[in-house]
Every structure is written in structure tokens, then in C-alpha cells.
Amino acid sequence: MRRLINRQPDVVVRFGLMLIPFIAVVIAYMIASEARLSANPNDKLLPGWSTIAAAIERMAFLPDQRTGSYLLLQDTISSLTRLGIGVAVATLIGGIFGVLQGLIPYFRATFSAFTGVLSMIPPLAVLPILFIVFGLGELAKVVLVAVGIAPFIIRDLALRTEEIPHEEIIKAQTLGASTWQIILRIVVPQMLPRLIDGVRLSLGAAWLFLIAAEAIASDSGLGYRIFLMRRYLAMDVILPYVAWITLLAFTLDFALRLFQRIAFRWMYRGN
Amino acid sequence: MTSFRLSSLRTFAAALVATALAFTALSPAHAEAKKDFKVGWSIYVGWMPWGYAMDHGIVKKWADKYDINIELVQFNDYIEGINQFTAGAYDGVMATNMDALAIPSAGGVDSTILVIGDYSDGNDAIILKGKDKLEDIKGQKVNLVELSVSHYVLARALENIGMSEKDVTVVNTSDADMIAAYATPDVTAMVTWNPMVAEILKEKDAYNVYDSKKLPGEIQDSLVVNTQTMKDNPAFAKAMTGIWYETMALMSGGDAAAEAAKAAMGEASGTDLAGYEEQLAATKMFYTPEGYIGFTEGNLAELTQFVSKFLFDHGLLGQDATSPDYIGIELADGTVVGNADNVLLRYTTEYAKMAAEGKL
Amino acid sequence: MTRVTVENVWKVYGDQTVLESVHLEIEPGSFIALVGPSGCGKSTFLRMMLGDEAPSRGRILLDGVELDAEPSPDRGVVFQKYSVFPHLTALQNVMLGLEFAASPVMARLFGKAKRKAKTEALDMLNCVGLGHAVRKYPSELSGGMQQRLAIAQALIKKPKILLLDEPFGALDPGIRAEVHEILLRLWREEGMTVFMVTHDLSEAFKLGTRVIAFDRVRTRPEEMKAYGATVTFDLKVDGKSVPPRPELREQLAAAAQ
């Protein structure tokens, strides 16, 4: 009998094992839902499939009676726009500050402790300040997402920049490079794929901040809808929305990974 | 390999059972005679007496008298308490009549309003920044908790001046952030409730253009219990009613004890005696069982219809609802407003009458 | 042709003396092999030559002028690892030095200037036998090819001094010999002064015109901190030597055969 750590499942078994937890959750949901619905046919906590399907049709494929727009589409566009701008701003700030902080000792001495402290502040705790400064509109939501994840991206990228072998920086200098040229040709091109890693890692937090921002003050968005529906426990809408957010997040992550592979072939060649 | 497949099948089965067990925790509470009861409440001027009763032994006294255990649990999030009640985790909850109808009743949970503690008599208000007439709200963005009592107040106010929700843009805003929201320049209109209203009206440019004084009795703050639980456990209903009216008697006594009780309630809600008195002034309390009984004998039928219509218009009576009458509401005298075959919200004065007659 | 003068150089980290009283006079066009046991300060000496570190005392002169306190294009370098840039192809790696010089802001060349730089870089790549691999990324090259690329990349700047820090330590013997030949040829052609740190004595004698050994003179444990290593052996490979330590002389003599 070989040790457990040395036993490898084959492709078929691996696929089956992968499905088990998903199937288990679905079946368990069905059992529990059935039990609740038999006690109370109008139960909202664990709605049946037909109720969920009807809710999906209503939200995604039928225009809303009051506004005439497709709610799921509208919510998705609102949320992705906010998320996209927020993450883009955070990436830009993170990229610039991270590289400078990782590369330039004077910059590091000035900002390292500050970004370290900044990243420890829970952004949700200073919301009133964000409101007063940035208003209650779209800007505040984008800022919350950006402020929420930028410190992490800065710190992550600064660490990655510091990990560039010292030899490379010396070599570039012996080739006559100025600080600016080193940043432009040596550091930034190597940090872009790392930056994508950092962004991928912070996407989960970005969604969290987005949904929190939408829960606080909004008139559309995926987080807005979930918190509104929660007011009357409409799990038939909330569950598909949660699944949709998960799918969006997964797709975004996958797209970033794909982009990284295509745009930065040098990382994957040869090894 | 075969044995591995078999063992993974067994693992699968075990995982399935474990998950199913976890979900069974979500099963609805089965109504039957029992001893332990949980009731949710949240901070609000009309519900502070419950917290006071819990802290000062009144709850325990009445629970002991009926040989049961009652736990009052404070929810920081009002809606979460109602959701827990709807899901069956709680036996009772403090809620407005509107939320009781929209959440547990529309969710198929037969619920009973055991006691109405008060109705809002100015606690909910529409506030405009720099404008002093309700008509000025036209075209503005209005910050409020969507689908809440505030939304209802707005709808009723607009109806009264011949406008509708189409004339404004509603922006859903968390109640916890209302005061901060008002301070931002782009917020110009707001509907909210006390203590936020009192706080915001301290601003020079804030005008109260409409409040719940104009909607007397429509927004009732109540103790809502699961109907089946109440029927199976009269002791629970008796104890809760007893607790309430003992606390009410203490609070309305006009003596030093009453002052001390109100000061404690004010403090627990984050203000002081003066601030609490100010909120009480905007609240029509039913200090006696007779007050509540008298209220239910008034135009309650008409009042409930306003609420049903609002909820129906906003799709809150469920997708199957075809009219505002979809859910039947049984009044204290047994008459049913709306669909008699689908009664899911009931008013009862049975226990209040016992209290009035001193039979508790 | 560059003359290097090392005047009484010391290197101290905190209370740890690494190098002490190093005096050297290097003839232009020499190929200096620096040898010695691990931790003897030969790499520290190379880093000071590079400008990556400054001497704690004393000074290093190039043609009578004190060295810049930071790396500059008059001193090229090849390390054992990380000498080339992983995100650039072989051609881009070699062109980089030309682009830095000609384009201060963009650090990139376009059009005619780019074609000229490309021709020059391709010549250099052919010189080191990488003409067939110009479009490959370093991760696609073998260890020997990577080091040849690093040499080409450094030499395109025509440095006065080439510094090599155990450049062939990780290579197989056969490949090592191949790279030795290329290096010797380029050294003769370019007329530069080479400093090479190695722990392989036969390599030192094969390539160097002069072999310099660093070692600690005082090795009692209580003396280890206060006293650093210094030049203990300085041998012109054509025969002249001043050996202060007999056991090392035997070692070197054995290796020389």
C-alpha cells in the first residue's frame, strides 16, 4: 500500500472528485428546500428551482415593468463599470507607487511606512469621510474600490520590484542606463505581469468593496439589487445574482490570466 | 482502482450526508408547545422599552411566572431580525405592520401582531435641503432606504400632491449613513426616520416638508409573533403582553421612576432623556391596553389597504400576487380585509384584553 | 588601454573587516584572475571595482582618475546568474546598451537608427556564436548560451574593463572550454582589461595573465573579525611571483601543471 501522498487519481477520477462537492451542495440544497417548501409553500429562504428560474427570467430576459430596462443587464453594466474604473485606477496607482517604492530608496523611505499603515485601515470604517470628500455618487463607489485595493497592490508590487535580482539593476547601469531608463526598459516590463497577479489577487476584495459601496447608496448595480432584495428575503433573486457575480469574477480572473500568458510570453517560454 | 472508486463513492455519500445535515439546520421550526422563546428587537424609540424590560428583570419576572424562558435579542440590523423571524429561527420580532406584511406574511409565514406599541406621529419625515415645500421635490434625487417605511411615506406624500414616484429618482441609501449622506453636497432630498431626522433637522438648510403626522396610524410599530407558536403557547403571548404593559405603566407613571426608566432608554439608544423625550413627542405611544384596543376598533381596515397597495405596486406581495388584496389581513374583530383564503397577517387584542382586565 | 591602481583599499562591514590594505597596480590589457577560498573578499573586491560598493578606506583609480561611485558603462560585467534580462530576446538584450546611449527618454530606437543598432548587435551575437538564436528569450537558452549572451551584451558597450564574477561556475566542462575560447578571442580583439573571479585554479591559470589570490593571514577565531583578507599571492603567469605562504604556493604549482 503506497502512502496517501503518493497516490494520484487518474483523469476520470479527478474529474469526478472535482464534481463531488458541487453535486453534494446542490443535492443538499434540494433536500432542505423540499423540506421547507412542504412546510410552507411560500418559503423564501430556500426557493425551488421553478421559482428561481422564474426569477431569472424576470430579472434577465423580461424588461422591468416600471423602468422598461433589463434589470440584470443594467445592474451588471453599472457594477462592471464601477469595478473596472476602480480597479484600473488602483492598478495605475499601485503600478507607479509600487515600482518607485521598490526601486528608489528615497521614495521607499518616504512612503513605505505610510502605505503600510494605510493598508491596515479598513476602508469601510472611514466611509463617512469618503462621502464628505467624494460625495455620494459614482465617484465615491469608484474611490472606495480603488482605495480599498490600491495599498495592497502597491505593497505587493513593491515587494516584487525588490525581488528583481540586484545583478540585473547593476548590469543595466553598466550598459549606461539612467534611473528612468531602468524603470522604463527593465523594471516596468518585468513588473507588468506581476501587477496582473496582484490585481487578480485583489479582485475578490474589489468585489467586496463594490458591493459594500452599492449597498450604502445606489440606484443600480449587482450589490444594490442583492441588498434591496434582501429587504424582503427574495432569495429566488439573490441566489442567481450571487451565482452570476461568481461567474463574472471567475471570468475576469480567467481573462486576466489568459492575457498574461499571451502578452508576456517570455515568462512561460522554455520552462 | 475499483476499490478506490468505491471508497470515493463512500466519501461522496458521507459528504452528501454531512452537507444535508448542515442544511437541516435551516429547516423551519416546528410549532409545538415549548419552553424557550427568542424574540428579536432593534433600536427604535418605540421599542426601547423592550430593551429596558430585558435589562431590568421585567422579562425574567413574567417568563418565570409562566414557567418559560424568553430571550430578547438585539439586532443591529433591523431587517436581519425580520429575516430571521421569517426563516423560523425566532418566535417573535419587533417590526412595522408594513414590513410584517411584506416579509413574513408575503413569505408564507402566518404572523400575528400581538401588541401595537405605537404609531409614528412625526418620526418619519421628508427633508429637503434649502427648499421648504414638498412640491419642490419634483425632479430631485431622493435618498432613502428603498422599500422601507421611508419609501412608503414618500409614495403617500407624492400621492397627496398629485405626483408619483416617476417625478423623482429614488437612491437607495443605508440608514446608518443618512447623516453623513446629508452632509454631502449632491444630496438634496431625503426621507428617513428618528433619531436621524432630529439630527439632520439641526442643520440650518434642512426643512421638514412632510412627516408621518399626516399619516396617523399608518406606520405601526408592533410585536409580531408566529401565529402557530402563539396558538400552541398561550403562555408566551401572555408573558410578552404582560412585560409590555408593565413597562408601559412604569414609563408613563410621571414619577421619578418613570424619568429614570426613560433616561435609561434614551441612553441605550445613544441619546439622553431630553433627546428621547423629543423622539417620544413624535411617537403616539399606546401606554395602556385600552389605547391599543381602541385603535384597532378605529379605521384599521382602511389603513391596512394603503399599505397593501404600496406593497403590491412595488411587487412586494410576491410574484403570484394579482391584486393588493392577494394576502388577507384578519382584524382584531375577526373580519378579513382582502383574500379570506390566504390570511397571513392577523391583529389580535385577546391578550391585551386580558391585560386590561388584570387577568394576566 | 586602461591602467588600474588600487591604493590601500579596506572594506569593513560594521565591526567585521573583510579586506585590508590591498595594493595593486594592474597593467593595461591584463587578464586578472582573482582566486581564493569562499569568503575571502574576492567578490567584494570585484563589487568595489564595479562601483556597486565603495571602499571603506583607500581608493581605486582608472588611468589615475578615481572610480565613479556607481556602475558605469566603462566597466562591463557578467555575473554567474541574472546577467541577462529575461523579458528581452537575445537580440533585444544586446541592443539594449545601444538604445540606452542613443535614446535618453524613450530608451528605444526607431527607423534607421534601430536598423543600425540591430546590425551591430547581430554582429556581436555572431561573434559569440548566437547568430541562430537571436529571437529566443533567455529562458529558452542553455546556461552556456546565456553566458555568451551576457558577454555579448556587455561588450557591445566597448567597456575599458570587463568584470566577471564566477561567470562559468555553473557550466559543464565542455561548454566551459568553448566559452573560454570565445572570451579569450574577444579579450585579445578588444584590448580591454579583464578581472575574473573564479574558484577554479586551472581556469585561473588557463585564462589569466596574472593570478591574484586573496586570503586571511590571521585565522585564529578571536582574530577573524578584526582582521580581513588581503592579497596573499600575486603571480604573473609567465613566472614572476612573490609567494608569502608556502602551502598556497604548492597548491598553485600543482594546479599550474
pLDDT digits (tens, 9 = 90+) for B27-82: 555 556 789 999 999 999 999 999 999 999 999 999 999 999 999 999 888 888 99
Distance CA B346, CA B329 (A): 6
User: Which chain C residues have a beta carbon less than 8 Å from that of A183?
Assistant: none
Chains touching B, CB cut-off 8 Å, 3+ pairs: A
pLDDT at B25: 57
Could you report how far apart the first and last alpha carbons of chain B are, in Å? 71
Please tell me if residue A36 touches chain B, with a CB cutoff of 8 Å: yes
pLDDT at C244: 38
CA atoms within 13 A on the CB side of B292: 31
Distance CA A246, CA A252 (A): 10
Instruction: Provide the chain A residues 111-140 that lie in CB contact (below 8 A) with chain B.
Output: 127-128, 131-132, 135-137
Nearest residue of B to residue A28, measured between CA atoms: B20
Domains B36-119+219-356 and B124-214 share a fold: yes
Lowest mean pLDDT among A179-183, B6-10, C96-100: B6-10
pLDDT at C257: 56
Nearest residue of C to residue A271, measured between CA atoms: C139
Average pLDDT over residues C166-192: 86
Instruction: Reduce the secondary structure of chain A to three states and give it as a string.
Output: CCCHHHCCCCHHHHHHHHHHHHHHHHHHHHHHHHHHHHHCCCCCCCCCHHHHHHHHHHHHHCCCCCCCCCHHHHHHHHHHHHHHHHHHHHHHHHHHHHHHHHHCHHHHHHHHHHHHHHHHCCHHHHHHHHHHHHCCCHHHHHHHHHHHHHHHHHHHHHHHHHCCCHHHHHHHHHCCCCHHHHHHHHHHHHHHHHHHHHHHHHHHHHHHHHHHHHHHEECCCHHHHHHHHHCCCCHHHHHHHHHHHHHHHHHHHHHHHHHHHHHCHHHCCCC
pLDDT at C246: 43
pLDDT at A41: 83
CATH topology classification for B124-214:
D-Maltodextrin-Binding Protein; domain 2 (3.40.190)
Does residue B180 register a pLDDT over 80?
yes
pLDDT at A92: 96
Place B8 in a pLDDT band, splitting at 50, 70 and 90. low
Pick the CATH number of B36-119+219-356 from 1.10.3470.10, 1.10.150.240, 3.90.1150.10, 3.40.190.10: 3.40.190.10
B vs C contact (3+ beta-carbon pairs below 8 A): no
Does residue B224 register a pLDDT over 50?
yes
Nearest residue of A to residue C47, measured between CA atoms: A170
Q: Which of B11-15, B318-322, C138-142, C243-247 has the highest mean pLDDT?
A: C138-142
Q: What is the pLDDT of residues C47-66, one digit of tens each?
A: 999 999 989 999 999 888 88
Which stretches of chain A drop beneath a pLDDT of 70? 270-271
pLDDT at B31: 54
Instruction: Provide the chain A residues 45-104 that lie in CB contact (below 8 A) with chain B.
Output: 45-46, 54-55, 58
Place C1 in a pLDDT band, splitting at 50, 70 and 90. low
pLDDT at C130: 92
Q: Helix or strand or coil: residue B271?
A: coil
Distance CA B107, CA B83 (A): 10
Domain borders along chain B are 36-119+219-356, 124-214
pLDDT at C250: 58
User: What number does CATH give the domain C4-74+159-256?
Assistant: 3.40.50.300
pLDDT at B255: 92
pLDDT at C245: 40
* pTM score, whole prediction: 0.80
pLDDT at A193: 95
User: In sequence order, which residues have a C-beta less than 8 Å from that of residue A250 and are 6 or more positions away?
Assistant: none
Place B269 in a pLDDT band, splitting at 50, 70 and 90. confident
Nearest residue of B to residue A42, measured between CA atoms: B108
Does residue B12 register a pLDDT over 80?
no
Q: Which of A8, A232, A239 has the highest number of chain B CBs within 10 A, making it the mutation to test binding with B?
A: A232
Does residue B191 register a pLDDT over 80?
yes
Give yes or no for a contact between C191 and C155, defined as CB atoms under 8 angstroms apart.
no
pLDDT at C215: 87
Percent of residues, chain B, with pLDDT higher than 90: 73
pLDDT at C235: 80
Percent of residues, chain C, with pLDDT higher than 90: 40
Q: Helix or strand or coil: residue B192?
A: strand
CATH 3.40.50.300 domain residues, chain C: 4-74+159-256
Does residue B17 register a pLDDT over 90?
no
Average pLDDT over residues B128-140: 93
The more confidently predicted of residues C23 and A137 is C23
pLDDT at C118: 95
